Amino acid sequence: MKFISWNVNGLRAIVKKGFLDIFYALDADFFCLQETKLQEGQIDLDLPGYYQYWCYAEKKGYSGTAIFTKHEPLSVTYNLGIPEHDTEGRCITLEYPEFYLVCVYTPNAQDGLRRIDYRMSWDDAFREHLEGLDLQKPVIVCGDMNVAHQEIDLKNPKANVGNPGFSDEERGKFTQLLESGFTDTFRFLYPDLEGAYSWWSYRGNARANNTGWRIDYFLCSDRVRENIDYAYICPEIIGSDHCPVGLHIHF
């Protein structure tokens, strides 16, 4: 099965930049979006053959996630069931006979780490959500997780130590998540590959110079990592400051 994840940084904007052509060309079984930035009724996507699941933020033009899939799930859960974490439309969980699929848009710690306390609380709650699912069946997790885990995951690690997305706190929580039974699928296949990024600032010709960060992930439960066929990044696909990431895995 083929999975794609993409932070589109505004779905209505990217639809005007060829999103549907990209969507059909990628032809995924599961296409997960983050940062859709819209409310219910603000877009009408006709995607024949796909079920659509949307999770909206209460704040207009902010956050939001969606999953488009060829496979009808057994059940659908939105958010985490925790009031303080359920107003920003950051998580969708689909259940299938062999696995759970979770699409997430992790909160940004923001400049000066002014939202780091909330981010730590989110990371703990999200990890507990995944651990609970993993007790029942394997889990595939994808999305913009707003952290570059290791120095290899961004172009200029020394200059970014302590910045949002590369703070010790955020990196530590990601390590804790992996240690609780999850595999970073891309690093599992390519442990030493440098220059593989999924996000570039709009400033300073960052994308042209590949001055990027790898902050978009597919994770899977450790016990199914040997089922991974491919994990990859699509930097050639433009339209957002992020590019799509992909996973092929069999069950």
The residues carrying an active-site annotation are 105, 144
Alpha helix stretches (DSSP H) within the chain: 11-15, 19-26, 116-134, 157-160, 168-179, 185-189
Residue 146 corresponds to which amino acid? N
Q: How far apart are the first and last CA of the chain?
A: 8
Angle, vertex CA 24, rays to CA 78 and CA 238, nearest 5: 85
Tokens standing for residue 22: 């990209």
Alpha helix stretches (DSSP H) within 210-251: none
Token pair 């009808």 is at which residue? Answer: 72
Tell me which residue of 212, 241, 233 sits closest to 37, measured CA to CA.
241
Q: Is residue 219 a contact partner of residue 142, using CB atoms and an 8 Å limit?
A: yes
Q: Got the DSSP string for 98-130?
A: S-EEEEEEPPP--GGGTTHHHHHHHHHHHHHHH
Q: How far is CA 21 from the centre of its chain?
A: 21
Q: Is 224 helix (H, G, I), strand (E, B) or coil?
A: helix
CA pair distance 105, 35, nearest whole angstrom: 7
List beta partners, residue 142. Answer: 103, 218
Residue 43 corresponds to which amino acid? I
CA pair distance 243, 246, nearest whole angstrom: 10
